Amino acid sequence: MRDQDAAFIKWLEEHEIWYETWSTWWGRILIGCRVLSLLASVISIIVAAAITPEYFSTTGRWLLIVAGALTAISSEILSQLRVREMEELREDGNIEASAIVAYARQKFEEYENDPAKISQLKDEIRDKISRLERNQHRRHVALDGRRSSQAAETPN
């Protein structure tokens, strides 16, 4: 493979890595918020069911406050950052970027001795990446717009 073709594949792989990284990041936030909510619920249930009035007047009250705060923080992160939607957006990008890279590798091997076809292939792949990026940007702006409009509608 020529150096310029290897550089092109590396450029594609960087897109794939970016989408994979951000898909994983948003997925971890989503799981973290879910675990945090579950943990807060379990703490609330156990404390409410098992504490004595004496314990409630000291530590128990603070445990319930902390559990409530954990639930509120988790809910706010999920709703304000639109975590589920961002995870879906980036995972869609990850899937598409991976497919583009696999397609490119296959075609570069197939057209190895045909510089004209490789040139056409690069144009085709650049168009695919451009469409992916525009679609991701458009969907991200739409999510961000919904977030902004919801914040504006929330009374103080």
User: Is position 74 within any domain?
Assistant: yes
The count of other CB atoms within 10 Å of the CB of residue 99 is 13
Average pLDDT value for residue range 91-110: 97
Are the CB atoms for 76 and 37 separated by under 8 Å? no
- Judge contact between 89 and 143, C-beta under 8 A: yes
What is the domain range of residue 44? 3-147
User: How many residues are listed for the chain in this entry?
Assistant: 156
The domain total for the chain is 1
In the predicted model, is pLDDT for residue 18 greater than 80?
Answer: yes
* pLDDT: which is higher, 122 or 146: 122
How high is the pLDDT of residue 147?
64
Q: At what angle do helices 83-110 and 61-80 cross, to 10 degrees?
A: 50
Per-residue pLDDT, averaged over 87-97, amounts to: 97
Indicate whether 156 belongs to any domain: no
In a domain, 155, yes or no: no
What is the mean pLDDT of the segment spanning 84-88? 95
Whole-prediction pTM value? 0.78
**Whether 93 contacts 19, CB under 8 Å:** yes
How many whole angstroms separate alpha carbon 15 and alpha carbon 100? Answer: 10
What confidence category does residue 47 fall into, taking pLDDT thresholds of 50, 70 and 90? Answer: confident
Residue 153 lies in a domain: no
**Residue 50 domain-assigned?**
yes
**In this predicted model, what pLDDT tens digit does every residue of 130-151 receive, in sequence order?**
999 999 999 999 998 876 666 5
Q: What is the pLDDT of residue 132?
A: 98
Q: Is residue 100 part of a domain?
A: yes
Q: For 82, left (φ over 0), alpha (ψ -120 to 50), or beta?
A: left
More confident residue, 155 or 60: 60
Burial class (CB in 10 A: 0-12, 13-18, 19+), 103: middle
**Per-residue pLDDT at 82 exceeds 80:** yes
Q: Among 32-36, 122-126, 130-134, whose mean pLDDT is lowest? A: 32-36
